[in-house]
């Protein structure tokens, strides 16, 4: 089983010739504490940032970021030079000079993202693996040592200090997850903020199934019409309700013919052969050879400029439960006990061929829905990556060895050298409404680390007003870097930093949600929940409304903070409107207060005015569509 690997963190122990022991546990250190490095004194820079001629672009960026933020903190702009100068020197990079300063550090063990932060006499070394480690060392230094906080792409905290000193710093660390990618509106299209959060999926250009098997064989009609046997066979079982049936597949083809992606002949071929172009036949030698050529062509173009590791090309099933049910594929499925078996055989063959020319490339495939369970006999090759996606599990409970999905993940880690996880941190039916899983993913990350998972993709909400979207992005990015941190402490830190004095009330509201969902026995929390009914009661909503009112009073004099609190409150405001008649009736029957709006139509008008520039409330659906639905709900008796 591949278990977690991380080089140790040791802070406040070393100065001068401190040396960490080889296994990374920080044991045999020569403790020479009391060293102080002064970077600025009374508003004047007393240090030089040293970067070598051989620095790569990420390291030059690291030096610029360090210079700019030291100026923001101290008011003094330190020089950036190619050689050390009088006073303190901050060596930024992974040059031969830097490596000579820290001869005990195994840079190969740092991978692409591991960091080194060390005081040495009157100087500091900020270094790490290539290509990104030095950049992440600088961001770690600025956040954890200097105290700069990037709460969101448009919100940061910089503590002004005219004198800045660093004492006894020694950190050698490799994050347990080699790939960290949080997909949400808080980080999407915000590469600078994402890399300050030490995310690397966007820097690696990680392929989030962009190259599924069907897309690699696009356009479909180019391959499907002459080679229908390359694609999935679906028996005519007469099922019209199943979205993944032969009948449903024909309907989809009929719609797509109108777009030109498929031809009229495609429909006739599908009808005659019962083959559908939504998935490949994994036992087809022709499909395997065509996909191998497609992957090699992609790598011929992409690989020369691809820096760092891991390099991953996804050769994966299409989203959903489409699968080939020809006799050969069914035989493999029966032998392996899971449809994943035929996929592992399929990608193993492609990976074997790719390795001859690109030994540093991993071929990835998803374990998703019907393919989540590992095969009984097939084993992924050493250059195959399995990306497991436990999408259907109960989100009110953290994944672990006591859960069925947790045992499945552990089984994949037993048989595969490289396992990534695709997690979900929102409700994809409506990512604005309350979703009481704030503590769940953080605890799951520690389980994944223990199992030796190598990469994490977290799919969160978009749209600009997803429930605590910015807190989720910040907290989980911190934990993807170091899962052993305390998630509650991180939440409280963010809420205080981003919402000011309103933060404590918002933390209580998060706790109210979690008590509510766990109080409701027999009620799960899925990633596609249609309503909060069943776990979020009138009493809970009244409590939440009071808390938001207190929060708004606490920041009434600050326009920016008030705006942020009102935006967070949107999650509870829409629940009042969505369940208005039901909650009104419950208040009357129980003799309890009703703290929802007295005039729901006026409240809806305010929400529909879109003060918070909400783009969407769920995937591929505009916010105006949701306000129309609320309007309909308010006019319909419950």
Distance between terminal CA atoms of the chain? 53
Distance CA 445, CA 481 (A): 10
Burial grade of 330 (CB within 10 A; 0-12, 13-18, 19 or more): middle
The alpha carbon of 249 is separated from its chain's Cα centroid by a whole number of angstroms, namely 32
Of 428, 620, 421, the closest CA to residue 527 belongs to: 428
For range 542-565, the mean pLDDT: 98
Domain borders along the chain are 36-174, 498-635
pLDDT of residue 213: 77
> Average model confidence (pLDDT) for the chain?
91
Residue 10 has pLDDT above 80, yes or no: no
User: pLDDT category, 239, cuts 50, 70, 90?
Assistant: low
Of 475, 457, 340, 431, the closest CA to residue 621 belongs to: 431
More confident: 218 or 301: 301
Inter-residue long-range contacts of 329-333, CB under 8 Å, 24+ positions, other chains counted = 329/233, 329/281, 329/282, 329/283, 332/282, 332/283
For range 105-128, the mean pLDDT: 97
Q: Let me know the angle formed at the C-alpha of 476 by 543 and 576, rounded to the nearest 5 degrees.
A: 25
Distance CA 317, CA 280 (A): 8
**Are 450 and 4 within 8 A, CB to CB?**
yes
361, β-bridge pairs = 311
User: pLDDT category, 21, cuts 50, 70, 90?
Assistant: very low
For range 364-384, the mean pLDDT: 97
Distance CA 281, CA 290 (A): 12
pLDDT of residue 4: 37
**Residues 460-519 pLDDT 10s:** 999 999 999 999 999 999 999 999 999 999 999 999 999 999 999 999 999 999 999 999
pLDDT of residue 318: 86
* Strand arrangement, sheet containing 123-128: 80-81, 47-50, 88-92, 123-128, 115-120, 170-173
**Residues 595-628 pLDDT 10s:** 999 999 999 999 999 999 999 999 999 999 999 9
For 613, the token pair is 């520039």
pLDDT of residue 33: 53
Burial grade of 610 (CB within 10 A; 0-12, 13-18, 19 or more): middle
Distance CA 216, CA 195 (A): 29
Whole-number percent of the chain with pLDDT over 70: 92
For 570, the token pair is 């949107």
Distance CA 544, CA 575 (A): 11
Domain 36-174 bears CATH identifier 3.30.379.10: yes
Angle between helices 469-481 and 487-499 (to 10 degrees): 140
Of 85, 65, 87, the closest CA to residue 77 belongs to: 65
pLDDT of residue 260: 85
Residue 637 has pLDDT above 50, yes or no: yes
Distance CA 152, CA 474 (A): 7
For range 389-404, the mean pLDDT: 94
**Residues 24-66 pLDDT 10s:** 323 223 333 567 899 999 999 999 999 999 999 999 999 999 9
User: pLDDT category, 210, cuts 50, 70, 90?
Assistant: low
pLDDT of residue 635: 87
Contacting residues for 182 by C-beta, under 8 A, at least 6 apart: 194, 197, 199, 201, 457, 458, 460, 473, 476, 477, 480
Distance CA 514, CA 519 (A): 8
611, β-bridge pairs = none
pLDDT of residue 16: 37
For range 62-71, the mean pLDDT: 98
**Are 220 and 214 within 8 A, CB to CB?**
yes
Residue 22 has pLDDT above 60, yes or no: no
Determine phi and psi for 475, rounding to 5 degrees.
-65, -45
Distance CA 148, CA 79 (A): 20
**Sole residue written with tokens 């997690």:** 423
Pairing verdict, β 384-389 and 361-368: parallel
**Are 39 and 90 within 8 A, CB to CB?**
yes
**Residues 158-209 pLDDT 10s:** 999 999 999 999 999 999 999 999 999 999 889 999 999 999 988 877 676 6
For range 417-421, the mean pLDDT: 97
Residue 9 has pLDDT above 50, yes or no: no
For 433, the token pair is 């409404």
**What DSSP designation does 88 have?**
E
């Amino acid at each position: 089983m591949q278990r977690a690997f991380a080089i140790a963190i040791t802070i406040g122990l070393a100065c001068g010739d401190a040396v960490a022991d080889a296994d990374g546990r920080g044991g045999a250190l020569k403790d020479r504490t009391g060293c102080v490095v002064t970077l600025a004194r009374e508003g004047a820079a007393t240090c030089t940032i040293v970067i070598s001629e051989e620095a790569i672009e990420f390291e030059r960026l690291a030096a610029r970021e360090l210079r700019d933020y030291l100026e923001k903190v101290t008011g003094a702009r330190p020089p950036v030079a190619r050689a050390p100068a009088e006073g303190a020197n901050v060596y930024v990079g992974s040059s031969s000079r830097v490596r000579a300063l820290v001869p005990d550090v195994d840079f190969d063990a740092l991978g692409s993202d591991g960091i080194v932060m060390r005081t040495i006499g009157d100087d500091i070394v900020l270094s790490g693996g290539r290509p990104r480690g030095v950049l992440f060392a600088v961001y770690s230094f600025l956040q954890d040592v200097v105290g700069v906080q990037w709460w969101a792409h448009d919100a940061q905290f910089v503590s002004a200090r005219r004198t800045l000193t660093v004492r006894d710093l020694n950190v050698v660390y490799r994050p347990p997850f080699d790939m960290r990618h949080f997909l949400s509106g808080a980080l999407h299209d915000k590469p600078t903020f994402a890399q300050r959060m030490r995310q690397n999926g966007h820097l690696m250009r990680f392929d989030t199934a962009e190259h599924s098997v069907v897309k690699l064989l696009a356009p479909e009609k180019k391959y499907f019409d002459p080679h229908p046997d390359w694609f999935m066979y679906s028996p005519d079982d007469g099922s019209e309700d199943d979205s993944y049936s032969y009948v449903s597949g024909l309907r989809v083809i009929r719609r797509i013919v109108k777009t030109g992606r498929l031809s009229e002949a495609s429909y006739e071929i599908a009808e005659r052969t019962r083959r559908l172009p939504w998935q490949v036949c994994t036992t087809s030698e022709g499909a395997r050879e065509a996909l191998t050529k497609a992957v090699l062509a992609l790598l011929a173009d992409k690989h020369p400029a691809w820096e760092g590791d891991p390099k991953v090309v996804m050769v994966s099933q299409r989203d959903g439960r489409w699968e080939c049910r020809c006799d050969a594929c069914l035989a493999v499925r029966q032998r392996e006990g899971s449809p994943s078996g035929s996929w592992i055989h399929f990608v193993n063959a492609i990976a074997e061929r790719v390795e001859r020319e690109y030994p540093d490339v991993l071929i990835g495939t998803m374990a998703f829905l019907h393919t989540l369970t590992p095969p009984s006999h097939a084993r992924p090759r050493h250059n195959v990556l399995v990306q497991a996606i436990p999408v259907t599990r109960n989100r009110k409970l953290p994944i672990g060895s006591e859960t069925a999905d947790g045992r499945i993940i552990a089984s994949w880690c037993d048989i595969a050298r490289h396992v990534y996880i695709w997690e979900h941190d929102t409700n994809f039916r409506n990512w604005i409404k309350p979703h009481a899983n704030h503590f769940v993913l953080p605890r799951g990350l520690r389980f994944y680390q223990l199992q030796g998972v190598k990469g994490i993709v977290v799919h969160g909400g978009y749209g600009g007003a997803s429930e605590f979207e910015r807190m989720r992005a910040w907290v989980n990015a911190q934990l993807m870097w170091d899962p052993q941190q305390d998630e509650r402490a991180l939440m409280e830190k963010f809420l205080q930093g981003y919402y000011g004095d309103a933060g404590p009330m918002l933390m209580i509201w998060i706790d109210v949600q979690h008590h509510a969902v766990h109080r409701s026995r027999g009620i799960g929390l899925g990633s596609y929940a249609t309503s909060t009914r069943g776990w979020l009661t009138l009493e809970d909503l009244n409590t939440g409304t009071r808390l938001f009112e207190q929060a708004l009073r606490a920041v009434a004099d600050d326009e920016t903070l008030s705006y942020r609190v009102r935006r967070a409150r949107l999650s509870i405001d829409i629940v009042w409107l969505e369940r208005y008649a039901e909650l009104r009736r419950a208040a009357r029957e129980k003799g309890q207060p009703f703290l929802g709006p007295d005039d729901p139509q006026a409240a809806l008008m305010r929400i529909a005015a879109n003060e918070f520039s909400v783009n969407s409330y769920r995937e591929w659906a505009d916010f105006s569509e949701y306000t129309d639905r609320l309007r309909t709900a308010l006019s319909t008796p419950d």
